[in-house]
Structures are given as structure tokens and as C-alpha cells.
Amino acid sequence: MLADVVDYGEFKFGTRNESILFSTQTFVVKLAGALSGFITGTGLALIGFVADAVQTPEAVTGIKVIMGGIPTVFLVIYLVVYWKFYRLEGSYLEMVKQSCRDHQ
């Protein structure tokens, strides 16, 4: 997918910027890891999680929501955005790739 985006950038702007794209992707992965740790820690604090203790039924329910419910909601949002806006597939992607080959 990233290689297709690099080709699309060349198609759209006339320059190949793979170094910027791949370094940005690495930064975004690290940022996502940091944010997920922060959100998980904050969520555990909000539901009353106590380390090394038997958890209350409310805390167990909260853990289930944090581990299952919230990721499911974000997955559905991601899929809707992907299906609605990602167009680099099929004949359009082939046209972009052909344009890049012709440009070289």
C-alpha cells in the first residue's frame, strides 16, 4: 500500500517522496504505540483497576470494553474511511502505475 501511495504522489505532484513517506510512517507507528499506552493506562485508572488485586466486576467489565469494545469501534470507523476514501485500486491504480513508468 505504501508503494502505491508513493506512485500516486509522483502521479499527482511529479516527484517521488518515498523517504518522507516511509519516515512519516515510522513516526506514526511510534506515536500510535505511545498513544495506545497512554489511553490504556488512563482507561485502567478510570475503571478502578488495581494492580495485584482481585478486580471488581466493574473493573472486569471495563477491561473487556477497553480490550474489545473500543478497538472494535475504531476498526469500524477505519473500515468506513478506507472504503469511502481509498481509491488506489483496480484500473485507477494501473493508470497511476503506468503514468509513473512513462514518466521515468
**Per-residue pLDDT reduced to its tens digit, 75-90:** 999 999 999 998 888 8
**pLDDT level of residue 1 (50, 70, 90 thresholds):** confident
Distance CA 96, CA 93 (A): 5
pLDDT (0 to 100) of residue 17 = 87
- Bin 92: left if φ > 0, else alpha if -120 < ψ < 50, else beta: alpha
Burial class (CB in 10 A: 0-12, 13-18, 19+), 14: exposed
Distance CA 85, CA 79 (A): 10
Is the pLDDT at 44 greater than 70? The verdict is yes
Determine contact, residues 2/21, Cβ cutoff 8 Å. Answer: yes
Give the pLDDT confidence of 53-75 residue by residue, as tens digits: 999 999 999 999 999 999 999 99
Return the DSSP state at 55: P
| Whole-number percent of the chain with pLDDT over 70 | 99
